[in-house]
A and B are shown apart, each in its own frame.
Chain A
């Protein structure tokens, strides 16, 4: 494409400025800082869409069958006659909400934004290993976002098989209308997304391995970089499996193969497919799907490690243990996938193996939590908005993590599988933690990204509304799940027919949940306002606003190609020398050589 025309920009090693056109600077940019911002902007937009979808279906759940102008405004007469959404559209909204949140906001948005911005800046590189591939990665992401959004507007509706798109439901247009064009677009969008993610990940890995500046040994890397690095490796190993998973589904849908289909009669039509297995899809899907949880979480944990240490003015507790637990989590994440499948008809013995490996993952997670808490202990905590969100992250990571112990236990999963208990669990541990991590990252590195400061007070308002809203949504949801309410139900009136008590409980709680979700959504307006306002009108950022040690704060506030004017910085110490006894200041940047007689950590 147009990228070819900008070949001349391939060499980012030359420092200083060369003339850039609008297109090469803001659109087909090779600069990692700009690409990171592009990822962020796209993700923010996708996040807004996904949040809006969730409010629409929350309205249906709290007040089923009641016409609403709000719903009719967005869905129109086709999908919401009289302001009551159709059953099919409900499933479509749920599916696309999940897909966008997991992949586009928390994978593309989180990893894409912060890996791009922080990896070269924190390892001391002029740019990513390949600026061109990096650009390609963004544009694939952009294209897949467009296709995913477009699928909301096709006549037969978006994919309606849930974000996990289990076949045969997702393979048979006769089974649900969204499995027609909507599902085709979903699959193509995801295939492109995976390509984007792979290209990006390879670039991150190469950059971390090869482009570290003098003195930046692996054990002097900030934990953010460790997290991005391991995340990228997980992505490279697991996303191809999702791609094959999706390709086989595409072939079942279009080429008449029978990978996932066997012995099916749908809408009176007897299909001749025989021998496929829907369980194969589930194995392939969750082989990515579970590592995906950590692809989402690890970057958030990496960002928070950095922020919690900076703002407690203390070194992160147990730096090596933190790296060890990232590695342990990454390794274990590949051998736990079938805990999503305890009651899908998989051999129960296989289930027991996965109980064991899954519960093991709680150990490194616990280590991380305790290390965060110890980092706060006897600290000197500065409450920037980023720090608030980081503490929120640790709290949701605990709260969502402990319910995982229930779900990982196959015996207990029999009754909680696919209920709202699961929905509550993964929204807290993965959704909230990652979103909090992302917000923390935006507040913390906003000065680096845009050279401006965000408004702190509005940040406080945003945080407190968000955490109250978030817990208000997901805490009661556990109880809805324990009452046995299955997920992906359009309404729960069926409960009225056999157990009025449960029905009343579910309906009461659903109203509470929806109220809080509306509150939380409104809270995000504060963020959006602050974010966009500050980009244009925010006060100029100082060189090192949070008095932080890492390399990115040694670059000039004004962005330049190649990041550092003149030579690359040399690193002499680990990034967590905060409040080191004997030092004048409570922070010692990595570029400061060891004083005489000073011991390196």
Chain B
């Protein structure tokens, strides 16, 4: 507290001191008959020189940053389309850096050169159609080139993925990522957010998950009704309010679930059953095209793969897509960067809440052999395997609920060691 008072005191004294200096300065200006609106030649010259010095400093600083931190700090792209994007970026950079130097040079140089000199009048030069035409047409041509090249890359980066590309779903929620591989049939199972349960975090749609969701929701409705209808207890109004709104909500949802059940085609169950859910680390294969389907459970996130030059928002209520072909394994990139600890990563790049900055998933690119081996190791861990678990207690939901939690834990426990084996760290 005392320190703060002292600081405050110093500031106040400082202001008073400056104010006094100003008075002195003003009195002396008055004696010299100096008016603020008349800028002396000395001041003009001083600022003109500063303009030139500032320009040198600005350009120097820019060049220093370029030399120290490189063209782009991300290093080489690690995906096929990424190389195209990087050369486009380089071309655009050359253009804009040239423009930056040229126009800033003209600006500061003129600001230096054409400072007021006694006896030299300014040139009355209000317009010149030829000049104006030149600097309308030249930027237009340059921009046309930029637009055409840019759209070419954009179209190829965002075109439909090839039918044989590997489909992976990336599921985002506050504050982590989950991947879902589409399994043998290379078709991602259907989903509906209303099916979310502890044993079905990704809300996959199968006859079983549908039934257990309806069951769980009806159980909850039943409980709520029981509490609300009890004649011998008085609820706190706020609690009662909350329960009633939850009840109304659940009733709406369960009705929708029943409708879904009515329309459900059990044949699509198979799409979901063979899906493989993978946490913590995303494994990709060099040279294969991957199509990512992005989903979000809560708010908007953004799947940002800086090294693969890929990014797409994940939006609740809709599926977004992005595709790319990794073309360097993690090992290769580590060698190239001469950094044995380097890893690819998937970051969240859309503000999504307090721990936004921690939301990431490691990405490992394997060569085909290692990738296939890793896939093989995942064979026994499909959604079906995990859902029914070892005791294989089918669809009895009351029991199911209990088992599921255990199973889930088991499942994750299994995933970790397998993941580590596959991590190409043995090379070090």
Contact = CB atoms under 8 A, between A and B. Distances in A.
B253 A272 contact: yes
A367 B132 contact: yes
Interface of B: 4, 15, 18-19, 22-23, 25-26, 29-30, 35-37, 39, 43-44, 46-48, 50-51, 54, 57-58, 61-62, 65, 69, 71-75, 85, 88-89, 92-93, 95-97, 99-100, 103-104, 106-108, 110-111, 114-117, 120-128, 131-132, 135-136, 139-140, 143, 146-147, 150-151, 153-155, 157-158, 173-174, 192-194, 196, 249, 252-253, 294, 297-300, 302, 304, 306, 309-313, 315-318, 320, 337, 339, 341-345, 347-358, 360, 362
Nearest 9 A-B pairs (CB), nearest first? A262-B317, A483-B73, A545-B37, A348-B158, A484-B306, A453-B36, A345-B320, A411-B153, A402-B96
A415 B50 contact: no
B298 A168 contact: yes
A501 B249 CA distance: 50
A410 B104 contact: no
B311 A417 contact: yes
Given A419-B349, A539-B26, A456 B43 contact: yes
A373 B110 contact: yes
A524 interface: no
7 contacts: A262-B318, A266-B298, A278-B317, A355-B147, A395-B58, A576-B126, A580-B124
Contacts of B157: 411, 414
B119 to A, nearest CB: 10
A586 B54 CA distance: 30
Contacts, number: 400
A264 B298 contact: yes
B114 A494 contact: no
Given A366-B139, A381-B116, A455 B22 contact: yes
A560 interface: no
Given A87-B354, A380-B120, A494 B360 contact: yes
A161 B351 contact: yes
A498 B344 contact: yes
A450 to B, nearest CB: 13
A266 B4 CA distance: 43
A471 B58 contact: yes
A547 to B, nearest CB: 8
Given A415-B311, A453-B37, A88 B354 contact: yes
Contacts of B99: 398, 402
B69 A475 contact: no
Given A272-B252, A381-B114, A398-B107, A501 B337 contact: yes
Nearest to A578: B122
Interface in A425-472: 447, 453-458, 460, 464, 467-468, 471-472
Nearest to A383: B47
Contact of B132 (A318, A460, A489, A502): A318
A363 interface: yes
B154 A411 contact: yes
A476 interface: yes
Interface in A360-406: 360, 362-363, 366-367, 369-374, 376-384, 388, 391, 394-395, 398-399, 402-403, 405-406
A498 B345 contact: yes
A376 B111 contact: yes
B419 to A, nearest CB: 16
A464 B54 CA distance: 9
A576 B122 CA distance: 13
Contacts of B29: 539
A476 B131 CA distance: 35
A360 B143 CA distance: 8
Contacts of B193: 263-265, 270
Contacts of A538: 36
A482 interface: yes
A579 B125 CA distance: 9
Interface stretch (A185-193, A247-255, A308-316): A308-316
Contacts of B114: 312, 376-381
Contacts of A419: 349
Interface stretch (A76-84, A169-177, A202-210, A283-291): A169-177
A467 B89 CA distance: 28
A314 B298 contact: no
